[in-house]
Amino acid sequence: MPVLSVRHLTRYRYRNPVAFGDHRMMLRPREGCDQRLLSSDLVIVPTPAQLRYVQDVLGNWVGVASFRGRASELTFESRFTLDHTPLPAFGDQPGHLDVFEAGRPFLYGADDLPDLVQSITPQHEDLDRTLTQWALRFTKPAGSTSLQHLLAEMTQAIYADFRYGKRFEQGVQSPLTTLENRGGTCRDFAVLMIEAVRRLGLAAQFISGYIHSPSRKLGQAERTGGGHTHAWLRVYLPSCGWVEFDPTNGIVGNTDLIRVAVVNDPRKAPPVHGTWAGFPTDYLGMDVEVDVTDPESQAYPASSFSAFG
């Protein structure tokens, strides 16, 4: 994968000048063996009185901007370039090392379990076990099922059987709604799979970031979700660590995926979040533009929306 550049602009518009409270930004990518930050720049207009960075409990970089005065527009423009080198999804480990035994949830070792509890605990109700039964479809009724195969098949099933559609409203629909409608956004598909595997005893986390969509000129299939922020998930497997899955595109591993924030609850990963003071009628709306480019292709067309695609 070549060097990738990302531009993410968020603009808030108001009818009259308003005062701004602190704004929290999750725009800086997480570095690791697969992606290395080469340069970054953040321009905020009006210029904040103070800008500082902290790392949250999961290691995400969070920018906090404080403001003085009033303005009728507030803009955040993040630009960064990184070397993105995806690794094999399961490394060189054979697929039978991690297995799900029929009739009981997966159990992590005593050393790992305390750190994974929050990622294993479901966050949505499943009173009639509809979601649990759907998850069990990917397991063998008796004996053991390879977790690598189970997770890959679940990813492909969502990709093949569910209809993707943009939704401009904030928030995530319930996994049961996604199952019933057989459709949703990238964030809905991620939460569906997270909640499904958690009911099997697996630790899963929500990831927000960006997806690189190759140019048609290169003869490669475009990725769903290009042109705005994207959402997917990762699951912890004892034999190979955290493995990423994008059910919106049927991706097993992190090819074309640029990771920014990793959380247990998707409500904790908005790219920009803050407060303002003024009349309720002053708020006119928010515009978002995202471009992901590489040296060999043009940028994916930018689009405007309210949050994740």
Domain boundaries, the chain: 3-85+270-293, 99-268
Q: In terms of Cα–Cα distance, which of 15, 20, 12, 24 is closest to 74?
A: 12
For residue 217, pLDDT beyond 70 = no
Q: What would you measure as the largest C-alpha separation in the chain, in angstroms? A: 66
Q: In terms of Cα–Cα distance, which of 34, 59, 94 is closest to 244?
A: 34
* Distance between CA atoms of residues 143 and 109, nearest Å: 20
> What are the phi and psi torsion angles at 248 (to 5°)?
-65, -35
> What value does the mean pLDDT take over residues 141-166?
95
Q: In this structure, are strands 163-164 and 183-184 parallel, antiparallel, or unpaired?
A: parallel
CATH code matching the domain that covers 3-85+270-293, chosen among 2.40.50.100, 2.60.40.2250, 3.60.10.10, 1.10.10.10: 2.60.40.2250
What is the rounded end-to-end Cα distance, in angstroms, of the chain? 24
Q: Which of 42-51, 73-82, 84-93, 232-241 has the lowest mean pLDDT?
A: 84-93
Domain 99-268 has CATH 3.10.620.30: yes
Same CATH fold, 99-268 and 3-85+270-293?
no
> What value does the mean pLDDT take over residues 66-87?
96
For residue 197, pLDDT beyond 60 = yes
* Distance between CA atoms of residues 264 and 13, nearest Å: 31
139 touches 100 (CB < 8 A) = yes
pLDDT of residue 302: 41
Placement of tokens 């990738």 in the chain: 4
Query: Is residue 52 packed enough to be buried (19+ CB in 10 Å), middle (13-18) or exposed (0-12)?
Result: exposed
